[in-house]
Amino acid sequence: MTDFDKRYAKLLGEYSLYLKPGELVYLRTTVLAHDLVREFSKVCIDRGAKLVADIEYEDQENYLIHNGSDELLRFVPSHRLDLMRSCDAYLVIRAPFESEPVTQGQEEAERIRQQALAAVQEIYFDRLGNGTLKRSLCQYPTIEAARQAEMSLEEYKNFVAHACAIDQEDPMNSWSALSRRQAVWTDYLNKVKRMEYCHTDWSISFSVEGRTWINSDGKSNMPSGEVFTSPIEDSVNGSIFFNYPTGIFGGRVGGIRLEVVKGEIIAWSAEEGQSFLDRVMAIEGSRRFGEVAIGTNDNIQRATRNILFDEKIGGTIHMAVGQSYYQCGGKNKSAIHWDLITEMKNGGSIFADGELIYRDGKFLI
C-alpha cells in the first residue's frame, strides 16, 4: 500500500483525534515512525493544530534501566508533565526497536522508573476521566513488531492496515459503522447491574451497577473495536483462564489463571512466564481489576502478542489488572494497566442480570 502513511495519518488526525484549529497535540513515538510523523504533521498543519513531538531513540529506556543511577531513573522532564496537563490531544505511536527483557537484578530499577512515570500516568487518567483529553494509541509497522507477530514486515504492514480499515475505500466510514453497531450494545449494558463471563472450565462475575460502558470506536485507540467499563472493585468473584499469550517487562507470559475473591486476586499461575506474572502481582493495585471488556473487531482474527490488537479480536473478552478508567467510574489506582485476553468462540457465554446476551463470540442482542 504505497499511500499507507498518508491514509494512516489522515485517519488519526481527522477521525481518531478530530483535530480542530488552535488545538495542541502532544505526540510520543520513536525515530522508526518518521514517515508517519511526517505525514501526521502535515495533517496537523492543514487542520490548524499545533504539534509537539517527543521522539525516543533506540535503546533509550532499556539503557537507562540497566545503567542509570536512582537520580536518573527518577527524572521525568518537566515539559512532559506540562504537556500532559495542557495538550488537547495526545497521540502515542508505538514503533518498537528490538526489545530485551528486563534481566534479573534490574527489578528495583524498573520499580523506581515506574514510580517516577506514575505522575505522568496519573495526569493522563485524571484527564481521561474528566473528559478534557482526546487521545489515541496506535502501532507503526517495524521489524521488531513484525517479528513478535511472527510475520514478515510486509505481512505485518498489511495486517495493521486491515485492522485499522486503512485498506478500505473509506476508512472513516468503516469506523462510523462500527460505532453505530457498538452503540446498541453499550446502551443495553449501561442498564445492567451484574454480569458473568463463563466458559467450559471457569466462571467469573462482577457488578457494573453505576459504571459506564464505553463505545471504543477508533477515537481512543487505533485500531479499536471493543466495549469496556471498570467493574465495582470488590465485586469480582470466581476464576478465569486467559489463553492468549501476552508480554510484560519484555518477557512472554501465557496460560494465565486467576482466582478472585471479593475483588482481590488471591491466587495466580502461568503456564509460561510465571516470574513475570509474579512481578506484576507485586505492584501496588495490580491484584484488583481496572477493566472488563468485549473485543469486537472482526478484521483482527489472529494474536500477535500485542495487546493493542489482541484485546480487540472479535470473539474475545479481556480483563485488565491494575489502573481503572476514571471515565467509567472506576476507582482502583496502580502503576500498571495490563489487559489479559481469552477466546470466547469455543464455548464462551456472557450473562447480564441473568440473561444470556453473548454466546460463542457473538452478541445476541
Q: Please report the domains of the chain, with CATH numbers, ordered by start residue.
A: 4-163 (3.40.1830.10), 172-363 (no CATH)
Rounded mean pLDDT of 44-52?
98
Q: Which residues contact 29 (CB under 8 A, 6 or more apart)?
A: 36, 37, 53, 54, 55, 56, 92, 93, 94, 95, 140
User: ω before 223 within 30° of 0 (cis)?
Assistant: yes
pLDDT at residue 33 greater than cutoff 80: yes
The whole-angstrom separation of Cα 164 and Cα 44 is 20
pLDDT at residue 211 greater than cutoff 90: yes
Q: Which of 147, 149, 82 is nearest to 119 (CA)?
A: 82
Helices (H), 208-330: 274-281, 307-310
Confidence (pTM): 0.86
Predicted pLDDT at 114: 85
Joined together, the cell numbers standing for residue 231 give 467493574
The whole-angstrom separation of Cα 332 and Cα 350 is 24
Min mean pLDDT across 106-120, 318-332, 351-365 is at: 106-120
Q: Which of 24, 38, 138 is nearest to 89 (CA)?
A: 24
Q: Are 116 and 75 in contact (CB under 8 A)?
A: yes
Pairing of strands 349-352, 194-198: antiparallel
pLDDT at residue 26 greater than cutoff 90: yes
State pLDDT tens for residues 159-170.
999 999 999 999
Give the SS3 label for residue 278.
helix
**What proportions of the chain, in percent to the nearest 5, are helix, strand and coil?**
35, 30, 35
Helices (H), the chain: 4-10, 34-46, 60-67, 70-73, 78-86, 107-130, 143-148, 153-163, 171-189, 274-281, 307-310
Q: Which of 158, 320, 346 is nearest to 149 (CA)?
A: 158
User: pLDDT category, 107, cuts 50, 70, 90?
Assistant: confident
Pairing of strands 355-359, 349-352: antiparallel
Rounded mean pLDDT of 180-202?
97
The whole-angstrom separation of Cα 77 and Cα 59 is 18
Question: Which residue is it, cell 486503512?
Answer: 166
Q: What is the DSSP letter of 363?
A: E
The whole-angstrom separation of Cα 110 and Cα 305 is 21
Distances in Å between the Cα of 221 and the Cα atoms of 1, 49, 78, 276 are 22, 20, 26, 26
Number of alpha helices (DSSP H) and beta strands (DSSP E) in the chain? 11, 19
User: pLDDT category, 2, cuts 50, 70, 90?
Assistant: low
The whole-angstrom separation of Cα 13 and Cα 161 is 16
Q: Which residues contact 45 (CB under 8 A, 6 or more apart)?
A: 51
306-322: burial string, b at 16+ Cβ within 10 Å, e else = bbbbbbbbbbbbbbbbb
Mean pLDDT of the chain: 94
pLDDT at residue 102 greater than cutoff 60: no
Q: Which residues contact 33 (CB under 8 A, 6 or more apart)?
A: 93, 95, 140
Amino acid at site 26: Y
Element of type H or E holding 92: strand 89-94
pLDDT at residue 1 greater than cutoff 60: no
